Amino acid sequence: MTAVLGTVVVVLVLLLAAAAALFWRLYTDSVRRADAARAEVAAERARSDAHQVALRRYEVAFASISGRGELGEQVLVETARALGLREGLHFTVQTDIAGGGAARPDLLLIVGDDRRVPVDAKMSMVCWAEAVETDDAEERLDALRVHVRNIRARAAELAGKGYQRWADAIYGTIMFVPSDAAVVAALDTDPDLLRWLLDRRVFICGPTGFAVVAAAALFAGTERTIADDVAAVRAHSATAHRAATNAIDAVNLSTTHLQRFISARRRELDALEHFRATVSPLSDAAASPTPLPLLRRAEDPTLPLNGHDPTPSDL
């Protein structure tokens, strides 16, 4: 009986030990999972804080004209490059077209005959973003009205700069808005907006409209480059033609002098031949043992030199 009780006690002790070990394992696993969950929550909170800071910087940037200009210029340049335009050939950035910094558009398109199209990208999109995010119809309408007022205010600033005095391609300014939907919404909200902008020579456009203008600039720039290449080839051809003419004239002049020399030489040889024939009887009368040498003509190289057959030293 004592042995049975001892066995039961041992089994109970072993079961309690196993239960305690299992409980401890479950406890440590739960603690580890809780720590991992707290770490994930902390990391997510840190990412959220970083996003809030970035969003705040974005809002602050868009709240200032310089910030909007930098962001809008980046969008403009990337859009122009995506359309195949090359900086320096089809467009320039932050070009002082008036001198003294009075007129410095964000981007300047270069079209035919070196004409230029200024593009401004400092339009605020904050109110448009608020109109898109809200679900309330009244709030959306109020945000769109503020968006229209911002467009009018920016257009009035551009009209005051007088870009058309230096950029004569369209005699006005393009106001670039990074969203076609923002342009359409503004025109729908204020039906008189387009006429008001055109009266001030300000042409509002989104990425699609800018793509059309950029395509025209690309075509004009390519045509201008081809015309420059053709002009360069024509100039080189004219230079080569003048050089060939001068060379031919020199050869003709040399040929003329050579022909005159040959003619004079032949007359000289004929006179010498006649003189030789005249002197021959005198040589015969003198009973000279050495006959007069034959007169050698250049066109007959087989004749002997100095009255005898040619030797290697004569040649």
Average pLDDT, whole number, for the chain?
Answer: 75
CA distance linking residue 263 with residue 105, whole number of Å: 78
**Helix (H/G/I), strand (E/B), else coil: 102:** coil
- List the structure tokens of 47: 């990412």
pLDDT tens string 9-66: 777 777 788 878 877 888 888 888 888 888 888 888 888 777 666 555 555 445 544 4
Predicted TM-score (pTM) of this structure: 0.50
Backbone angles phi, psi at 191, to 5 degrees: -60, -25
305 — pLDDT class (breaks 50, 70, 90): very low
Residue 174: strand pairing partners: 119, 203
CA quadruple 183, 117, 163, 174: dihedral, nearest 10: 0
What are the residue ranges spanned by the domains of the chain? 60-226
Using the 8-state DSSP alphabet, how is residue 204 labeled? E
Mean of the pLDDT values across residues 258-282? 78
- Distance between start and end Cα atoms, the chain: 149
Q: Report yes or no: 144 and 127 within 8 Å, Cβ to Cβ.
A: yes
Q: In what order do the strands lie in the sheet with 91-93?
A: 91-93, 107-110, 116-120, 173-176, 202-205
Most confident of 100-114, 125-139, 141-155, 248-262: 141-155
Per-residue pLDDT at 195: 92
What is the number of residues in the chain? 315
Which amino acid is present at 85? L
Using the 8-state DSSP alphabet, how is residue 110 labeled? E
224 — pLDDT class (breaks 50, 70, 90): low
DSSP string, 144-191: HHHHHHHHHHHHHHHHHHTGGGT--SSSSEEEE-S-HHHHHHHHHH-T
pLDDT tens string 130-168: 888 888 888 889 989 999 999 999 889 888 887 777 766
Q: Report yes or no: 233 and 102 within 8 Å, Cβ to Cβ.
A: no
CA distance linking residue 85 with residue 283, whole number of Å: 96
- List the structure tokens of 93: 């950035």
Mean of the pLDDT values across residues 290-305? 60
Tokens 């390519």, residue located: 222
pLDDT tens string 168-217: 667 788 888 888 888 898 999 999 999 999 888 888 888 888 888 777 77
Residue 112 has pLDDT above 60, yes or no: yes
What residue spans of the chain are helical by DSSP H? 2-63, 65-82, 126-133, 137-161, 180-189, 193-199, 207-285
Residue 113 has pLDDT above 60, yes or no: yes
Per-residue pLDDT at 315: 39
CA distance linking residue 151 with residue 145, whole number of Å: 10
Per-residue pLDDT at 70: 62
Per-residue pLDDT at 303: 47
100 — pLDDT class (breaks 50, 70, 90): low
Mean of the pLDDT values across residues 284-295? 68
